[in-house]
Amino acid sequence: MRTPGELGTRAEAMLAELAALTDGDGNLTRLYLSPAHRAAADHVATWMRAAGLDVGFDALGTVRGRAMPTAPGRAGNKRLLIGSHIDTVVNAGRHDGMLGVVAGILAVEEIKARGIQLPFGVDVLAFGDEEGVRFPTTLVSSSAVAGCLVPSDLDARDADGVVLRDALVAFGGDPEAVTSAAYAREETLAYLEVHIEQGPVLEAAGLPIGIVTSIAGQSRFSITVMGEAGHAGTVPMALRRDALAATAEMMLSIEDVARAGNAHQMVATVGRLAAKPGAVNVIPAEVVFTLDIRADADAPRLAAIAELETRFRAVAARRGVTVTMEKFYESPTTPCAPRLQEAFVGAARDLNLGERRLASGAGHDGHAMHHLTDVGMLFVRCRSGISHNPAEFATIDDMGLAVEALIKAVERLAADAASSGDRI
């Protein structure tokens, strides 16, 4: 039986091995269906086999390591899925995604080593397409597992014109067998994922792990404010219809509304802004800016958008400008199942750790997996909230505690299965 520190040390070593498998030159870049993805998938398969799992690749390239049930019970035909992804962004860190795959393998290995009996099977999954960098689509591999893949996604082309379908064949996958990758709902118990937080909340709270309440839904808008250009010297303040000054007021409304949604972990960001004509001595006539707004549930996010629309119109009316909002992206909230949150909370309690719950502001494979089964996620503290960057970092201790918490959560699910007659 390994201590959390030993599990963390092993996780660190495995992440270092994976990080060496890259398409990049001197950095970690591993896009879906690339040679580095193939090498990483094979490497993961090797670890899985060493852990005694029955290993296979599904039609979309997802690595699947199966452990059979070891205890009797009516959940014997069910499978607990544990996973994450092994693709990366360009010039990535080594934890995002990979930690969840490594944690799954270590947990299964350790459950076996400790002689813990489970009345359900466990499948560890290593997805290949979570970042959505290579093709203009994302979550293709987890969507196939969840049975919700949009067939036209296979026709997507990368920047070199390579069609996803053809890249999949070259990888060793089978675009004609996509439906075979899907699990049946009745055989699936739940999906669990360990992931670095990619934000600063746990670090600020001084906690190694946190329990995810939902994967935040998000809406993105392009907002256009039209005013009137004018000479910066000759138009008095009271006679201006300054599109940028109006935008400044709208931006503060956005902050204000997002802060008021703190209980729903609301965040709102203006990331891009362009003012025209853009001359030092001309009053701006037109501003286009983006709004990205997220919350832990759909209702508060949609209410905040409605509130912002009202406020924008009031600002525009008062200032004699016009405002139009165009939504160009929306994804609904993925709630994490309360019973799975409780399993992680119990695990944290077992380890004498705080029970911090938080929403995930970033997207994850769980967003697709929710179409198939209940989703539970455990976040691991990362330094300064930095991710998608070589500076991405989680400590050995924190990673070890996360693996231990995952083991304890699986034990709790097994106990629940026993006490509820497998109706978990």
Q: Which spans of this chain sit near its own copies (rule: CB under 8 A)?
A: 197-201, 204, 216, 218, 220, 230-239, 242, 244-245, 247-249, 251-252, 255, 258-259, 262, 265-273, 275, 278-284, 290, 292, 294, 360-363, 385, 387-388
Q: Considering the complex, what minimum distance in angstroms separates the CB of residue 363 from its own copies?
A: 8
Which phi and psi (to 5°) does residue 337 adopt?
-65, 130
**Which tokens in the block code for residue 127?**
């997805």
Closest to its own copies by CB, 16 or 252: 252
Q: Considering the complex, what minimum distance in angstroms separates the CB of residue 249 from its own copies?
A: 6
Q: Considering the complex, what minimum distance in angstroms separates the CB of residue 237 from its own copies?
A: 5
Closest to its own copies by CB, 82 or 315: 315
Q: Considering the complex, what minimum distance in angstroms separates the CB of residue 192 from its own copies?
A: 20
Q: Which residues contact 380 (CB under 8 A, 6 or more apart)?
A: 95, 99, 194, 195, 196, 197, 202, 208, 209, 394, 398, 399, 402
Closest to its own copies by CB, 62 or 218: 218
Closest to its own copies by CB, 23 or 292: 292
Which of 200, 216, 162 shows the shortest CA–CA distance to 332? 216
Cα separations in angstroms, 203 against 28, 278, 291, 344, 363: 25, 40, 27, 19, 20
Q: Which residue has the tokens 């200032």?
A: 319
Residue type for position 291: L
Q: Which residue has the tokens 């009316």?
A: 317
Tell me the C-alpha distance between 357 and 317, whole Å. Answer: 41
Closest to its own copies by CB, 292 or 422: 292
Q: Considering the complex, what minimum distance in angstroms separates the CB of residue 153 from its own copies?
A: 21
Closest to its own copies by CB, 7 or 258: 258
Q: Considering the complex, what minimum distance in angstroms separates the CB of residue 341 from its own copies?
A: 19
Q: Considering the complex, what minimum distance in angstroms separates the CB of residue 352 from its own copies?
A: 26
Tell me the C-alpha distance between 279 and 272, whole Å. Answer: 18
Closest to its own copies by CB, 144 or 246: 246
* Three-class SS state of 36: helix
The enclosing H or E element of 322 equals strand 322-331
Tell me the C-alpha distance between 345 and 348, whole Å. Answer: 5
Q: Considering the complex, what minimum distance in angstroms separates the CB of residue 387 from its own copies?
A: 7
The neighbour count for residue 67, using CB atoms within 10 Å, is 23
Q: Considering the complex, what minimum distance in angstroms separates the CB of residue 198 from its own copies?
A: 5
As a dihedral over the C-alpha atoms of residue 418, residue 420, residue 421, residue 424, rounded to 10 degrees, the angle is -90
Cα separations in angstroms, 209 against 106, 111, 123, 339, 348: 17, 20, 23, 18, 8
**Which tokens in the block code for residue 163?**
């069609």
Beta bridge partners of 6: none
Closest to its own copies by CB, 183 or 312: 312
Beta strand extents in 361-413 (DSSP E only): 375-380
Closest to its own copies by CB, 188 or 265: 265
